[in-house]
């Protein structure tokens, strides 16, 4: 009896001590390949035990057949009794390896890691999150904190929605009204502002809510992101979601039947040459700040109502031989695309832009489910998938009655994780799918802590979808790893969703009568 007791105790000790080490099977995203050894190694806090080998012949041979983007980010991480070795072709690859090492370090309070070899590279080249800074301005410290999280998850894109009716969020020297006036609204929340009739004010008003990024703020964010191999995609919306521009500069707004400008118009006026002068000047300043390939020009949900009566829009239609008002949107997109292409930039737009004649170089961001991306890729466009049917992070993540007010139906962690960006895409067009992105619209998310609650852990799922081979992904194993990483994120000060108390329905997708959160309505 005593002997059995001793065996039982030693079994318990060995099991609990094994599970305390950090091991590669706890990583998010799950690596492409790994193997483990017998021993363990405790990482030095100062990193002096990490050696990086660039361009080693054996590693170069191993990644030879990978697509170019995957080669750039590929790494091998070897942890053994003498320390840590990282192999990569580029600094970016070495950085991804360091982030894996960082997550292994965080997974055990003593920083003790099982001996292992990890060979790893991403499935897709675009793995992003969009933050809506117009509807609720969260500022540079928040953005930098989320950049840290994205880096740890080996994501590489942050898209900032900087302009919309609810506030313009970027300093533009040529157009000071954008930040002196329409960056400040009365109404702390989007819906309060809407209920008050969309009032703007100025920064000195004690009732002012809002703010904007100065050019120095953007330089700081860009430099911070660059150190973490994350690109920032700035979005300047056109022609819809642009009421704030008309309010700041009514002289370029559409003209009504009474001959007067309409500052409350939702859309930019496509007939007024002043609109193009405005957009081109703004974009010149944007180009100076954001040293990347892509600029996002919006393009979603134009209402087009005022275009029907505006003399300038009607004149443009006649001159250009247009039959339908929708062609005005195509005219604007093509003109701005050409302007940006001449300056070495590639345009991204929401999927509406495929409807009105789009130059082949333009990239489409599919948001109205997946059909826009399926169509655009078949027509030869590169595509970023961000379907609202899977990866919209302003949607509920658990039972509606448990959660703060959100949008639409439940998109639980399980639902998000189910998504495969190649779903519905014919194999001959797979190469057009650059990757995926989760979008956090903020009409219902006025505060930073709430934004983090909606982001994590669903951003973990987006990171893994974007990185890990599809055939390796399995939800329940992923969910277990999320529970561990959530604890780490909370300790680092992120206000995550409480995955530990997620309803069974959200976990399984099925309604269960034994679910303690279930009640007949
Ligand atoms: C969008 O969600 N309107 C792009
Ligand atoms: Zn007009």
What does the pLDDT read at residue 409?
Answer: 82
**Domain membership of residue 65 as a residue range:** 2-120
Distance of alpha carbon 352 from its chain centroid, rounded? 19
If asked whether residues 260 and 395 sit together in one domain, one would say yes
Q: Is the pLDDT of residue 292 over 70?
A: yes
244 is catalytic: no
Mutating to test ligand 1, I would choose from 365, 388, 395, 411 the residue with most ligand atoms within 8 A of its C-beta, which is 388
Last residue of a domain, one of 120, 147, 162: 120
If asked whether residues 359 and 239 sit together in one domain, one would say yes
Query: 365 lies in a domain?
Result: yes
Confidence of residue 511 (pLDDT cuts 50, 70, 90): low
Say which CATH number the domain at 148 has: 3.20.20.80
What does the pLDDT read at residue 505?
Answer: 87
Q: What is the pTM of this model?
A: 0.94
pLDDT over 70 percentage in the chain: 94
Last residue of a domain, one of 97, 120, 143: 120
Instruction: Quote the mean pLDDT of the chain.
Output: 94
Query: 21 lies in a domain?
Result: yes
Q: Is the pLDDT of residue 359 over 50?
A: yes
If asked whether residues 151 and 108 sit together in one domain, one would say no
Closest CA to 117 of 48, 62, 45, 44: 62
Q: How many domains does the chain have?
A: 2
pLDDT in tens, 29-48: 999 999 999 999 999 999 99
* Ligand 1 atom, smallest distance to 301 CA: 3
From residue 480, alpha-carbon distances to 86, 137, 183, 219, 234 in Å are 27, 33, 42, 38, 35
If asked whether residues 406 and 422 sit together in one domain, one would say yes
Q: Is the pLDDT of residue 66 over 60?
A: yes
Sign of torsion over alpha carbons 314, 319, 321, 326: negative
What does residue 87 show for φ and ψ, rounded to 5 degrees?
-110, 140
Pull the structure tokens for residue 497.
């969703």
Among candidate residues 159, 241, 415, 432, the one labeled active-site is 241
What does the pLDDT read at residue 152?
Answer: 98
If asked whether residues 106 and 164 sit together in one domain, one would say no
Say which CATH number the domain at 93 has: 3.30.379
What is the spatial distance between Cα 98 and Cα 350, in angstroms, rounded to a whole number? 34
Burial 445-472 (b: 16+ CB within 10 A, else e): bbebebbbbbbbbbbbbbbbbbbbeeee
If asked whether residues 262 and 301 sit together in one domain, one would say yes
Burial 258-273 (b: 16+ CB within 10 A, else e): eeebbbebbbbbbbbe
What does residue 425 show for φ and ψ, rounded to 5 degrees?
-95, 125
Among candidate residues 164, 337, 382, 502, the one labeled active-site is 164
If asked whether residues 206 and 344 sit together in one domain, one would say yes
What does the pLDDT read at residue 509?
Answer: 76
If asked whether residues 297 and 362 sit together in one domain, one would say yes
Distance of alpha carbon 372 from its chain centroid, rounded? 18
Which ligand has its closest atom nearest to the C-alpha of 367?
A: 1
Q: With contact defined as beta carbons under 8 Å apart, do 432 and 385 qualify? A: no
Distance (angstroms) between ligand 2 centre and the Cα of 248 equals: 16
* Ligand 1 atom, smallest distance to 439 CA: 2
Which residue CA neighbors atom 2 of ligand 1 most closely?
367
Which residue CA neighbors atom 3 of ligand 1 most closely?
300
* Ligand 1 atom, smallest distance to 350 CA: 4
Residue 362 CB-density burial (10 A; 0-12 exposed, 13-18 middle, 19+ buried): buried
Per-residue pLDDT, averaged over 478-489, amounts to 98
Query: 516 lies in a domain?
Result: no
Mutating to test ligand 1, I would choose from 160, 164, 301, 386 the residue with most ligand atoms within 8 A of its C-beta, which is 301
* DSSP string covering 168-193: E-B--TT-THHHHTTTEEE-SSHHHH
Last residue of a domain, one of 120, 153, 174: 120
Find the residues whose C-beta lies inside 6 A of ligand 1: 300-301, 350, 367
Confidence of residue 20 (pLDDT cuts 50, 70, 90): confident
Query: 8 lies in a domain?
Result: yes
Q: Is the pLDDT of residue 1 over 50?
A: no
If asked whether residues 305 and 343 sit together in one domain, one would say yes
Q: Is the pLDDT of residue 8 over 80?
A: no
Q: Is the pLDDT of residue 253 over 80?
A: yes
If asked whether residues 387 and 455 sit together in one domain, one would say yes
What is the spatial distance between Cα 442 and Cα 283, in angstroms, rounded to a whole number? 24
Per-residue pLDDT, averaged over 131-160, amounts to 98
Count of CB atoms situated within 10 Å of the CB of 408: 12
What does the pLDDT read at residue 142?
Answer: 98
Residue 424 CB-density burial (10 A; 0-12 exposed, 13-18 middle, 19+ buried): middle
What does the pLDDT read at residue 510?
Answer: 62
Query: 502 lies in a domain?
Result: yes
Per-residue pLDDT, averaged over 368-386, amounts to 97
If asked whether residues 210 and 262 sit together in one domain, one would say yes
SS (H, E, C) 464-490: HHHHCCHHHCCHHHHHHHHHHHHHHHH
Q: With contact defined as beta carbons under 8 Å apart, do 237 and 246 qualify? A: no
What does the pLDDT read at residue 408?
Answer: 85
Pull the structure tokens for residue 150.
């994205």
If asked whether residues 210 and 314 sit together in one domain, one would say yes
Secondary structure class of 123 (helix, strand, coil)? coil
Distance (angstroms) between ligand 1 centre and the Cα of 337 equals: 20
From residue 197, alpha-carbon distances to 181, 190, 191, 307, 360 in Å are 16, 11, 10, 22, 40
420 is catalytic: no
Query: 446 lies in a domain?
Result: yes
Burial 302-339 (b: 16+ CB within 10 A, else e): bebebbeebebbbebbeeeebeebebbbbbbbbebbeb
Distance (angstroms) between ligand 2 centre and the Cα of 282 equals: 19
- CA angle 423–386–333, rounded 5-degree value: 115
What does residue 174 show for φ and ψ, rounded to 5 degrees?
-75, -15
Query: 479 lies in a domain?
Result: yes
301 is catalytic: yes
Query: 465 lies in a domain?
Result: yes
What is the spatial distance between Cα 410 and Cα 466, in angstroms, rounded to a whole number? 22
What is the spatial distance between Cα 169 and Cα 209, in angstroms, rounded to a whole number? 12
From residue 347, alpha-carbon distances to 47, 298, 362, 430, 505 in Å are 40, 10, 5, 20, 41
């Amino acid at each position: 009896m005593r002997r059995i007791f001793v065996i039982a105790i030693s079994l318990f000790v060995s099991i609990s001590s094994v599970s305390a080490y950090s091991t590669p099977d706890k990583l998010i995203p799950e690596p492409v390949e790994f193997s483990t050894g017998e021993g363990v190694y405790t990482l030095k806090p100062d990193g002096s035990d990490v050696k990086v080998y660039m361009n080693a012949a054996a590693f170069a041979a191993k990644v030879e057949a990978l697509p170019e983007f995957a080669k750039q980010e590929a790494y091998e991480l070897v942890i053994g009794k003498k320390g840590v070795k990282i192999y990569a072709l580029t600094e970016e690859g070495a950085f991804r390896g360091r982030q894996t090492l960082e997550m292994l370090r965080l997974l055990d309070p003593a920083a003790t890691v099982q001996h292992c070899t990890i060979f790893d590279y991403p499935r897709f080249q675009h793995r992003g999150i969009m933050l809506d800074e117009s509807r609720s301005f969260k500022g540079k410290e928040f953005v930098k904190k989320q950049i840290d999280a994205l880096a740890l998850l080996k994501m590489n894109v942050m898209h900032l929605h900087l302009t919309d009716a609810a506030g313009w969020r970027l300093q533009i020297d040529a157009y000071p009204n954008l930040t002196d006036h329409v960056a400040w609204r009365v109404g702390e929340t989007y819906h309060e502002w809407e209920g008050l009739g969309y009032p703007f004010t100025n920064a000195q008003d004690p009732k002012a809510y809002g703010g904007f990024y100065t050019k120095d703020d953007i330089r700081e964010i860009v430099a911070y992101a660059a150190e973490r191999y994350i690109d920032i995609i700035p979005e300047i919306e056109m022609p819809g979601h642009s009421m704030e521009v008309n309010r700041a500069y009514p002289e370029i707004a559409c003209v009504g039947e009474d001959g007067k400008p309409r500052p409350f118009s939702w859309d930019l006026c496509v007939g007024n040459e002043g609109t193009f002068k405005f957009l081109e000047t703004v974009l010149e300043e944007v180009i100076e700040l954001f040293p990347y390939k892509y600029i996002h020009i919006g393009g979603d949900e134009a209402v087009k109502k005022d275009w029907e009566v505006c003399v300038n829009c009607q004149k443009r239609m006649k001159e250009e031989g247009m039959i339908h008002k929708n062609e005005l949107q195509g005219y604007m997109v093509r003109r701005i695309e050409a302007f940006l292409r001449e300056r070495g930039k590639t345009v991204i737009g929401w999927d509406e832009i495929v409807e009105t004649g789009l130059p082949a170089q333009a990239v489409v961001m599919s948001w109205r489910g997946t059909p826009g991306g399926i169509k655009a890729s078949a027509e030869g466009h590169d595509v970023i998938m961000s379907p609202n049917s899977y990866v919209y992070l302003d949607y509920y993540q658990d039972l509606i009655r448990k959660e703060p007010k959100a949008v639409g139906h439940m998109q639980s962690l399980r639902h998000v994780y189910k998504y495969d960006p190649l779903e519905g895409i014919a194999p001959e067009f797979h190469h057009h799918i650059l990757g995926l992105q989760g979008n956090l619209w903020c009409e219902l998310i006025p505060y930073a802590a709430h934004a983090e609650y909606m982001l994590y852990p669903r951003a973990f799922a987006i990171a893994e979808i974007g990185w890990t081979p599809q055939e390796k992904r399995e939800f329940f194993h992923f969910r277990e790893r999320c529970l561990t990483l959530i604890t780490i994120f909370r300790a680092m000060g992120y206000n995550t969703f409480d995955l530990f108390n997620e309803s069974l329905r959200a976990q399984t997708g099925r309604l269960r009568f034994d679910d303690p959160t279930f009640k007949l309505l």
